[in-house]
């Protein structure tokens, strides 16, 4: 009897260990296939530390929003509603602690500061993970590009659906960063 419970318990444990990550993957894929794509313009990546480990740490230009709520405090969770600007990049329209009844996509963010009617915030998708063999060459290329002003169009391609936002790729001059790095590795073997 005890042996049967152990076997059943083991099977349940293994199933749970596969179910949780599987559910997370399915949710991310659902956002990527059914969500709306937005381009979030990045700020120049700090050339002294653009990569930490196997990911790029991204700073986005969109980090402020207007709000009517004066009770917002540091680390409050907020809804920031977005739309595309005239250049096709994501722009924050308004921030609120409560979900608003407006027909716009939104992202969940964390407040970092509040001054008068403007809230500063941190987006949840500020890391882009890369294959380890391309991480260092990407760091070198981005550093050179920032120094030499070769790149004028770096953005994160983010898909948004309901309460989820997924950073699909980082684009450099409308080319995925992995392809950009691979192309420059072939052209320049000193990286």
100-133 residue pLDDT tens: 888 899 999 999 888 888 899 988 888 888 877 7
- 82 lies in the same domain as 132: no
- 130 lies in the same domain as 176: yes
pLDDT of residue 86: 92
Q: Are strands 105-115 and 55-57 parallel, antiparallel or unpaired?
A: unpaired
- 72 lies in the same domain as 118: yes
Instruction: Quote the percentage of the chain above a pLDDT of 90.
Output: 18
CA triplet 59, 60, 63: central angle to 5 degrees?
115
Backbone torsions φ then ψ of 107, nearest 5 degrees: -125, 150
Token couple for 57 = 């740490």
- 137 lies in the same domain as 190: yes
Q: Of 155, 187, 158, whose CA–CA distance to 173 is shortest? A: 155
- 160 lies in the same domain as 175: yes
Count the domains in the chain.
3
- 141 lies in the same domain as 56: yes
- 51 lies in the same domain as 90: no
Is residue 1 predicted with pLDDT exceeding 70?
no
pLDDT of residue 89: 93
Are 12 and 18 contacting, i.e. CB atoms less than 8 angstroms apart? Answer: no
- 156 lies in the same domain as 141: yes
Range in 34-38, 57-61, 65-69, 99-103 the model is least confident about: 57-61
- 134 lies in the same domain as 187: yes
- 74 lies in the same domain as 106: yes
Q: Of 70, 81, 82, whose CA–CA distance to 119 is shortest? A: 70
Residue 163: which domain range? 36-60+125-191
Q: Of 147, 137, 148, 140, whose CA–CA distance to 178 is shortest? A: 137
* Consecutive H or E run containing 25: helix 2-34
pLDDT of residue 188: 66
């Amino acid at each position: 009897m005890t042996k049967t419970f152990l076997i059943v318990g083991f099977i349940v444990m293994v199933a749970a260990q596969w179910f949780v990550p599987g559910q997370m993957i399915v949710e991310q894929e659902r956002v990527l296939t059914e969500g709306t794509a937005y381009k979030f313009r990045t700020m120049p990546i700090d050339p002294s530390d653009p990569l930490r480990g196997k990911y790029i740490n991204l700073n986005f230009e969109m980090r402020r929003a207007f709000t009517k709520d004066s009770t917002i405090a540091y680390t409050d969770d907020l809804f920031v509603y977005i739309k595309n600007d005239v250049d096709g990049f994501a722009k924050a329209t308004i921030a609120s602690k409560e979900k608003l009844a407006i027909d716009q996509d939104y992202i969940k963010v964390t407040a970092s500061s509040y001054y008068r009617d403007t809230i500063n915030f941190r987006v949840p998708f500020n890391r882009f993970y890369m294959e380890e063999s391309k991480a260092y060459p990407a760091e070198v290329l981005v550093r050179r590009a920032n120094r030499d002003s070769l790149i004028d169009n770096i953005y994160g391609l983010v898909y948004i659906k309901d309460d989820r936002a997924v950073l699909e790729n980082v684009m450099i001059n409308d080319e995925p960063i992995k392809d950009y790095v691979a192309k420059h590795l072939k052209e320049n073997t000193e990286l």
